[in-house]
Each structure stands twice: as C-alpha cells, then as structure tokens.
Amino acid sequence: MATMMGMGRIIRSGERVALSHYHLDAEQWSAMLSAPGATLPLISCWADDARAYVLLLEGDRPLLASTAVEERRYLAPSSRFAGAEWGERVAYDLYGVEAMDARGNGAPALDEGGWTSTWPLSSRPGPAAGGLRPLAGSHLLRPEQTGLSGPLELSFEVLKGKVRSVEVCAGGAHRGVVSRLLGRTPEEAMPLVSRMTAGGFVAHPLAFARAVAQARGLVPGPGIRDVWMVLLEIERMSLHLFDMARTARGVDAELLATHCDHAREAIARACAEQGVSRRLMDMVACDGFRDGLEIVPLAQAVHAAMQPRLAALEELHRVFAPRLDGFAVLDVRLAERFAVGGVTGRASGRSMDMRRREAGMRLEALRATGSSQGDARAREGLRLAEIRDSLKLLERILGSIGLEDDEPAPDRTDEGIGVAEGARGDVWYWVRLKDGRIESLHVRDPGVSLLPVLGAMLRGYPVSRVPAALGSIGISPAGIAL
C-alpha cells in the first residue's frame, strides 16, 4: 500500500468516523508511517487506553488518524514524526501505553517519581515508582531563575557556564486539567478551559468552542465570528507586549520594557472601563460570547489606547534591536520539522498563520512580514508588525462587522476539531461528545512544539541569558502539562 499511495491517501483509506478523522487498522497505520514522499506536518500526537492518535495538517486543513492500542502497545508515530515523542512520553506516564520503535530515551515527561500510582488515568493503574534522580552534572533552574511562571523546571547540562543541552521537567506543572473536564457538558467545562493558561484566556476557549460547534454540526454566525476575532486580536497585542517586555529586560533594555508594560496596562485599563475583565477571561462561550459584551466600544477603546503608543515602541525597538542579533536562533528546518508556530515559527521562515483559513477573515489586514533569520531580533520585530496588523484588523472588522458568508455547516458527528491562532501559536482542541457530555478530549498548546527545539536554540548561551531567550521564544509552562 505504501509504495502506491501518499500519506494523506493512506489515511483516507481508513474508516471515516468524523469530518476529518479516520480509523486505521494496524496495517494502514504502519503504511502511513512508512509512506513515501513528503511527510505531512504533525500538529499533535496522543494516546489513551484504547487508541493512539496523530493530528496532521494537509494544506491548511486538519487530518486526524487513529489506531487501536493492543496489549498496551502501538507503533510509534515518532518513527516518522520527530515531534511526536513528547506525546508518546505523556501517554506512557498517564496510561501506561508503550510506543514501539519510538525515538528518544523514553524518559518520563510527567511522572518524576512522586505520584501515588503509575499510569493514573489507565483502567489498570500500577504501583508507585521510586523517585528519579537528576542526571549527574545537570543544573536545575527553578521558575524564578528562568522568568517562567508556574512549576515548570528546566534541567540544563552546563559546561563552563554555558548550556549544552536542555531537559524539560514538567511533572510539577501537570495539573490533571483534561481529566477533570471529562464527563462534563461543554458549557460546564468552559470556565475551566478559559483558565487553562494566562497565555490564552481567549485562544484556548475559542479553539474549544470551535471544536464543540463542529461536533454539534453548527457554524457560528458572522456576528459571533467577528466578536471572537476582535477578542483574539486584543489578546494578541497584550501578550506580544508582555513577551517583548520580558525579552527587553533580559538584555537590559529597561526603557523599552517599561513602554511595553505601559502599553499593556493601557489595553487592560480600556478593557476594564468597558466592563470586561482586564485579560478577557470568560468572554468566550460555547455558543458565542458573554452576555452584555459590547464589542464595538471595546474594540474602539483598545484601538484608541494602543495606536498612539506604537510609533514610540517601534523607535525603541530600532534602538535596542542590535542587542538581539543572532540570539536564540531557530533554524527553519527545525521549525518545520517540529511544527513550531506563532511568531517563533514565522520569524524562522515557517509561514503558517491559521487565521488565514478562517471564514470571514479580512485578509488584507494581515500584512506582517519581516526577517526570517530566526533570532530574537526577528521575533521582536515581527511582534511589533503583528500588533500593527491587529490594529488594522480591528478597523476592518468594525467597518464591516457581521458580514455574511456562505460557510456550510458540517454534519453532526459528536466529534470536532477546533483551532485558534493565538499570540504564541496555534492552539488545537479535539473533542468527542457522548450524550451531550465530553467523552474524550485532547489539547495541544503551542508550547509543546517548542520543547524539542529549546536545546538547539539555547546551546552555547550563558545560563544567565536564559530568561531573555525564553521571553523571546514566548514559551508558557501552563499549557505544556495539562
């Protein structure tokens, strides 16, 4: 089969069970992993007791393939997709299912020896394992040393004060959020989804709402769609300013950092004055948005607060940008191999922005371009360009809000995939409903795609410069170990 068919065709030869989801038998799964020709970009990989999944991107559309887990084992997607390794490690820690022929050393992703049982989400959990020891010669950086919020630890192999390799220790950051959502209705789950991570108070619930709508065979109307777009762009500007401030402080550009802080506070204050939360928490609902939200005055207030500040930010960036030259470089080949999205991917030459596939998007507003050198300077320049685009997009939406389109409604299959292009990259949700409640759920935060490339980006840098690099990369720990 593999000698005759490409990867996408092999997947679609399986049993179609939802709009973009195909069940593959063991032979088809193996053929997919050994298919000749181009490898489709991997979005995410996960597994539970029953099935293993890979979510791929074919053109600009998601394509989901799954296969049965037999005797706790399945053929490892990482044998073809390098970025699948993290999902395989997480699946083993949570369910005890083993990826055969997997890449890497099989080190735990979450279970660092402190859990009361192994494989806690499995139908057959095991006894607790003994504690794990750090590697000899490793240097563990706590959150306060990295500038990250939350209990994510980075273990570095250091030689003469410089980084040689990086290992992510996410066990302390794991909150069991996804397991807490199972069995709830989407409406009951939404408040928790809205608090998934401060890096996506809009992006996460929006991706979830889109997945739920697809599962229910619904298409949000143009008015709802435009409100969601406005909220997402406001969040994008706020988070870009936050990441720029973190980066600036790491290279002693305090004046730029202060201007970023003031601009972000102006956005937050404009939100509060319009009667919504400063960071737009609880604005997105499964069927639309919070009752009483007046999107036009909100968008106008944010635009008025941010637009006059942009020129000063751009000038300060020009002054301090040379300090970021060649800093924390991500090669485009790595960006493509591990599906790194958002500013970090685009500044390296991987030009993917999932907003461009959205119905009703005012594409003429999305003009941001810049250097593809892959360093911190390119990322910060792109963030500023995207803030300018966000302001322009607000203008375009306000000028034609609720513009009709002819997007067809999908068939109801009780399963859906949703995506939102957040400030730090593409956020994906897959949800399966049963009797109106969440039977299965998977979340892919863009931070996961950064884990395999951190070592290459930080190698050779003094440990003291790690906070500036992580700020520039825009990694957030809360979305990595849900």
Domain stops at, among 73, 105, 137: 105
Report how many domains make up the chain: 2
Q: Identify whether 43 is part of a domain.
A: yes
Q: Identify whether 473 is part of a domain.
A: no
> Are 231 and 86 in a shared domain?
no
> Are 101 and 188 in a shared domain?
no
**Residue range(s) defining the domain that contains residue 84:** 7-105
Q: Identify whether 347 is part of a domain.
A: no
Which of the given ranges, 137-146, 327-336, 369-378, has the highest pLDDT on average? 327-336
Predicted structure pTM score: 0.92
> Are 89 and 194 in a shared domain?
no
Per-residue confidence band for 433, with pLDDT thresholds at 50, 70 and 90: very high
CATH number of the domain where residue 226 is located? 1.10.645.10
Q: Is the pLDDT reported for residue 163 higher than 70?
A: yes
Which of the given ranges, 115-119, 150-154, 346-350, 462-466, has the highest pLDDT on average? 346-350
Residues in CB range of 473: below 8 A, 6 or more apart: 328, 330, 344, 379, 450, 454, 457
Torsion of CA 370, 376, 377, 378, to 10 degrees: -10
Q: Identify whether 418 is part of a domain.
A: yes
When comparing pLDDT for 159 and 63, which is higher? Answer: 63
Q: Identify whether 258 is part of a domain.
A: yes
CATH number of the domain where residue 57 is located? 3.30.460.80
> Are 256 and 400 in a shared domain?
yes
Q: Shortest CA distance to 229 belongs to which of 44, 420, 40, 381? A: 420
Per-residue confidence band for 463, with pLDDT thresholds at 50, 70 and 90: confident
Q: Identify whether 66 is part of a domain.
A: yes
When comparing pLDDT for 295 and 150, which is higher? Answer: 295
Domain stops at, among 105, 127, 157: 105
Provide the mean pLDDT of the chain.
89
pLDDT tens by residue, 232-266: 999 999 999 999 999 999 899 999 999 999 999 99
Q: Identify whether 52 is part of a domain.
A: yes
Alpha carbon separation from 18 to 64, 410, 431 (Å, rounded): 9, 10, 11
Per-residue confidence band for 132, with pLDDT thresholds at 50, 70 and 90: very low
> Are 79 and 192 in a shared domain?
no
> Are 191 and 61 in a shared domain?
no
pLDDT tens by residue, 266-304: 999 999 999 999 999 999 999 999 999 999 999 999 999
Can you give the pLDDT at residue 172? 56
Can you give the pLDDT at residue 3? 42
Domain stops at, among 84, 105, 126: 105
Q: Is the pLDDT reported for residue 420 higher than 50?
A: yes
Per-residue confidence band for 134, with pLDDT thresholds at 50, 70 and 90: very low
Q: Identify whether 92 is part of a domain.
A: yes
Can you give the pLDDT at residue 136? 42
> Are 97 and 238 in a shared domain?
no
> Are 393 and 263 in a shared domain?
yes
- Tokens representing 283 are 């604005």
> Are 291 and 408 in a shared domain?
yes
